[in-house]
Chain A
Amino acid sequence: MPTDLTVAKKSALRQMTDDWSADQRVFRGVTWGKAMMWVFILGDAFIFACFLLGYLAVRHTTTEAWPNTAEVFTIHVGGKPIPFLLIIVMTLILDSSSGTMALAINAAHRRERKKCAALLFATVLLGLTFVGLQAMEWRNLIAEGLRPAHNEWGAAQFGSCFFLITGFHGLHVSFGLLFMANIARKVARGDFDDGRRGFFTGRRGRYEAVEIMGLYWHFVDLVWVFIFALFYLW
Chain B
Amino acid sequence: MTPATPAVDRQHSGRLFFVVWAWLFALSFLSWLVAYFGIAGIPRWSLISVFMLAKAALIVAVFMRLAWERLALVFAIVAPLLALVAFISALNFEAVYIHSQRENYQGVKAP
Contacts and interface: CB of A to CB of B under 8 A. Distances in A.
Interface stretch (A7-15, A124-132, A134-142, A194-202): A7-15
Contacts of B94: 57
Contact of A92 (B28, B96, B102): B28
Contact size range, A: 35 or more
Interface in A95-118: 95-96, 98-99, 101-103, 105-106, 108-110
Nearest to B96: A60
A67 B28 CA distance: 22
A109 B59 contact: no
A168 interface: no
B52 A229 contact: yes
Contacts of B17: 99, 102-103, 106
Interface stretch (A158-166, A172-180, A181-189, A216-224): A216-224
From B38, B80, B84, B91, residue with most partner A Cβ within 10 Å: B84
Interface of B is mostly: helix
A87 B99 CA distance: 29
Nearest to A82: B36
Interface residues of B, number: 64
Interface in A12-71: 12-13, 15-16, 19-20, 26-31, 35, 38, 41-42, 45-46, 49, 52-53, 56-57, 59-63, 70
A88 B32 CA distance: 7
Contacts of B59: 98, 218, 221-222, 225
A30 B5 CA distance: 7
B60 interface: yes
Interface of B: 1-6, 9-12, 14, 17-18, 20-21, 24-25, 28-29, 31-32, 34-36, 38, 44-45, 48-49, 51-52, 55-56, 59-60, 62-65, 69-73, 75-77, 80-81, 84, 87-88, 91-92, 94-96, 98-99, 102-103, 106, 108-109
Interface of A: 4, 7-8, 12-13, 15-16, 19-20, 26-31, 35, 38, 41-42, 45-46, 49, 52-53, 56-57, 59-63, 70, 82-84, 87-88, 91-92, 95-96, 98-99, 101-103, 105-106, 108-110, 207-208, 211, 214-215, 218-219, 221-222, 225-226, 228-230, 232-234
